[in-house]
């Protein structure tokens, strides 16, 4: 058996352990570790970002094949501007190149692509490519790919608060009408279902200002694998781990009402 066949068999064996009825509809990913991956190999950090793109393409295919409906990936945070200009410029250029090269295939796969974040500081050329890609794919219904660029969870929440305050001062809404549903509908994710699963690669155990509102009850899976080494096998492992979780949402799972009188709480 050649290497490709071995990998295929390994992935196949793992995917048999997945309960197809319990696949998360929305998966969010903090794709972290590109720089460290490259540095470890004695390469410039840009090599890690390039390899990271091919991993994203693979994970997009795998998640779609598995039956997920939404993938939301963190590509550039509001804090990433603090990196050296050379790296920031490289990333901006990479976004343009990748979009130009991949948009036709994304469209053929009936994937809708949406960019989430404040696009204002990006160059006009990138903004144009982004708007064209969004407009080309806006009616695609098979899958939604959200790419978070110049995104910050706190900034998003402040933006919603500002919008609601404006609507309230103009009389469009009453302050008493502000509730979770209304707040949710003003978020950049525009009311799509919250992610059931958040994956962060490279072993870091933090959220780094990602989807602060939407991750309220997401299951978190930390992979020690650096993003450029992440693959179908690692993604399937994350899904299997997610499926083993007991999602309680503050309640008490698998405790029938009758047993309440026997539990310690009643004494
Ligand atoms: C994630 O990898 C990609 C971006 C933030 C754009 P990093 O570039 O953060 O890689 P590390 O964490 O420094 O290894
Ligand atoms: C989070 O990774 C942002 C992206 C993956 C785009 P960072 O590398 O910027 O996060 P920190 O600095 O480790 O928290
Ligand atoms: Mg990082």
Asked if residue 263 has pLDDT above 80, the reply is no
Residue 32 C-alpha to ligand 2 middle, in angstroms?
6
Residue 168 C-alpha to ligand 2 middle, in angstroms?
35
**What's the whole-number mean pLDDT along residues 30-58?**
98
All structural domains of the chain, each given as residue ranges with its CATH number in brackets, are: 23-152+194-245 (3.40.1180.10)
> How many other CB atoms are there within 10 angstroms of residue 185's CB atom?
10
- Which band of pLDDT confidence, cut at 50, 70 and 90, is reported for residue 50? very high
Q: What is the mean pLDDT of the chain?
A: 94
- Which band of pLDDT confidence, cut at 50, 70 and 90, is reported for residue 1? confident
Q: Find out whether 100 and 133 touch, Cβ atoms under 8 Å.
A: no
- Which band of pLDDT confidence, cut at 50, 70 and 90, is reported for residue 256? low
**What's the whole-number mean pLDDT along residues 163-186?**
96
Q: Which atom of ligand 2 is nearest to the CA of 204?
A: 13
Residue 251 C-alpha to ligand 1 middle, in angstroms?
37
In testing the pocket of ligand 2, which one of 77, 83, 117 has its CB within 8 Å of the most ligand atoms? Answer: 77
Of the residues 32, 50, 150, 194, which is catalytic? 32
Asked if residue 257 has pLDDT above 80, the reply is no
Q: Which atom of ligand 2 is nearest to the CA of 148?
A: 6
Pocket of ligand 2 (CB under 6 A): 30-32, 74-77, 79-80, 204, 206, 208
32 is catalytic: yes
| pLDDT at residue number 266 | 45
- Which band of pLDDT confidence, cut at 50, 70 and 90, is reported for residue 121? very high
Of the residues 11, 80, 209, 231, which is catalytic? 80
Q: Which atom of ligand 2 is nearest to the CA of 76?
A: 6
CA separation (Å) from 86 to 45, 54, 83, 182? 11, 21, 8, 40
Cβ burial 48-83 (10 Å sphere, 16+ → b, else e): bbbbbbebbeebbebbbebebbbbbbbbbbbebeee
Tokens read off for 76: 């550039």
- Which band of pLDDT confidence, cut at 50, 70 and 90, is reported for residue 253? confident
């Amino acid at each position: 058996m050649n290497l490709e066949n071995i990998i295929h068999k390994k992935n196949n064996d793992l995917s048999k352990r997945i309960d197809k009825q319990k696949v998360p509809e929305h998966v969010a990913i903090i794709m972290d570790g590109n720089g460290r991956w490259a540095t470890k190999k004695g390469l410039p950090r840009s090599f890690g970002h390039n390899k990271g793109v091919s991993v994203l393409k693979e994970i997009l295919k795998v998640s779609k094949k598995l039956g997920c409906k939404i993938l939301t990936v963190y590509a550039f945070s509001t804090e990433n501007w603090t990196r050296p200009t050379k790296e920031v410029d490289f990333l901006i250029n990479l976004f343009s190149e990748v979009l130009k090269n991949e948009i036709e295939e994304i469209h053929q796969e009936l994937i809708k692509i949406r960019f989430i974040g404040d696009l204002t500081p990006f160059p006009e050329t990138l903004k144009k490519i982004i708007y064209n890609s969004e407009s080309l794919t806006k009616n695609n219904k098979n899958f939604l790919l959200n790419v978070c660029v110049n995104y910050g969870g706190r900034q998003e929440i402040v933006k919603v608060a500002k919008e609601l305050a404006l609507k309230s001062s103009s009389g469009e809404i009453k302050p008493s009408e502000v509730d979770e549903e209304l707040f949710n509908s003003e978020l950049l994710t525009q009311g799509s279902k919250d992610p059931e699963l958040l994956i962060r690669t490279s072993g870091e155990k933090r959220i780094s200002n990602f989807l602060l509102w939407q991750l309220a009850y997401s299951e978190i899976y930390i992979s020690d694998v650096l993003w450029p080494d992440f693959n179908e096998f690692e993604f399937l492992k994350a899904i299997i781990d997610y499926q083993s979780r007991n999602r309680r949402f503050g309640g008490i799972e698998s405790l029938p009402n009758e047993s309440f009188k026997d539990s310690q709480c009643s004494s």
